[in-house]
Structures are given as structure tokens and as C-alpha cells.
Amino acid sequence: MGEHLKKMKNIGYKDKYDPTKIKPYGDTINDGKIQVSFTLPMQNTPKATIAAKQLVLKMGLREPNIVLQKSLESEFTFFVVYGHLIHNVDITKIREEDSQLFKAMSMDEINEFISQNFNRKIVVVGATTGTDSHTMGIDAIMSMKGFHGHHGLERYEMLEAHNLGSQVLNEDFVRKSIDLKADVLLVSQTVTQKRIHVQNLTNLVELLEAEGIRDKVILICGGARITKELAKELGYDAGFGQNTVAEDVATFFIKEIRNRQKK
């Protein structure tokens, strides 16, 4: 923690702001100072400078200061801009349940939960579907070695995990899931140009519905730009973004399967 923040804690900085009007912190409490970066499809000219300032003003930034303006090839210009954000948020209206962190079980706890609540292993089928060739995301969740010391689902004794790899057609993914009698489907999406990931994820849901098995499986998507809100909107049971490990995903789907059995 920086010396300035230490001093602010010592003088009771929480008494210096209104919890109904929280803004980003820069030099002083609630000064609203933030940094944004973006690329405009324009040559690096004074006209581009004016366009960038007009854009950040529409974002709600005041006193914009362009600290970096750099050409990207001939027809694009990259900007880094500082400014004072005029918007704020009322944290008193954030519900307690919305702010609670998801608590994941350990691998041993997950195996024990499955042993106690089910009479068999849970079948999980995962893949990076569509034209996406990236495997890092799905491998981090499913592969034996896992990611950052977190073993993947293939290591779990009470899971039957099948990693189909990348560039798997949605049709093939659905067919394989039916053949394996999957309980859980995991879909990783990394490539997001022109929102192709949204199209692909939507198509998968439609295929599952056409086969009459959408409600018979737990459907989960994941990726750097995936949020739980987007996942729900597209018809998925859950969505996991950055910094997700196997325990997070497994904890969700075993509890979800158990909850469905109770209904």
C-alpha cells in the first residue's frame, strides 16, 4: 500500500466520502480521476485529437487530458486519456447477496460431495467450439495438470471428464455429449471479433434445444470476456470469466445437479 493511502487510512478517510455517491479515487477521495484507452479508425491528425476528446466527454469525463496519442499503422490512432468521471454509484443500494464472493470447495470436498449425493461419477464434456483454436482456457479447467496449482477436472476421482479440444463444431459437440450421456457441458470461447462468440454460443443452445436435451444438462460457458450476465442472457446456466479454476466450475455444477434432483 502506498504512503498516501496509509496516511488516508490513519486520518479516517471513510468519513470523507458519501457512500451514496462513490467515484474512482485518484489524488483525493471522490475526485473521479480515471484513465481510458482506445483506438480510433482515423489517421493520427489534429482531427483525431478533437474526435478523441469529444468521445471521452460523451463518456462522462471532464477536463480530458490526452497523455498518449500514437499511430497504429496508417489509418488507426491509439489514445490514452485521463479525466474526471462525473458519474457515481450508490453502494448503499447494492444488495448483500450480490456482493458475496463465491466460495468454492476443494477437490477432495467435491469428490466427497459426489460420493455422498450421487450413485455414480458425473460426466463432464468440454471443448472450445466453433472456429476458435485456443485451448488454454478449456485445458486450464479440464486437463490433468490444471492451472496455477489447481488440478483440472480430469484429476477428480468422481468425475468422468472428456476434453474434446479446440475447433469442435457445435453439431459434433452435441453428438458426442449425447453419446457420452453428459451431465455437464463446458464451452470455452476466446475469439471475440465481431462478437462471433455470441453467435456460436447461441447456436449451441439452439442445437441442444432441437435435440431436446437442453434442460437435461448443466450448460456452462467460459472465457476472458464471458460474464455471468451474458451467459444467462444467452441461455446458459452459468458463465465464468478470468481467474476461474476447476474448483469454481465443479462446485457450481455439482450443487446445481443436486438442486435439480431435489425439485
Catalytic positions are: 145
Say if residues 83 and 54 touch (Cβ distance below 8 Å).
no
Say if residues 77 and 42 touch (Cβ distance below 8 Å).
yes
Cα 234–chain centre separation:
14
Strands (E), 134-232: 159-163, 184-188, 218-222
- C-alpha cell read off for 161: 471428464
- C-alpha cell read off for 259: 438442486
Other CB atoms within a 10 A radius of the CB of residue 49 amount to 16
SS3 83: strand
For residues 227 and 248, give the distance between their C-alpha atoms in angstroms, rounded to a whole number: 14
What are the C-alpha distances in Å from 201 to residues 41, 95, 190? 29, 30, 12
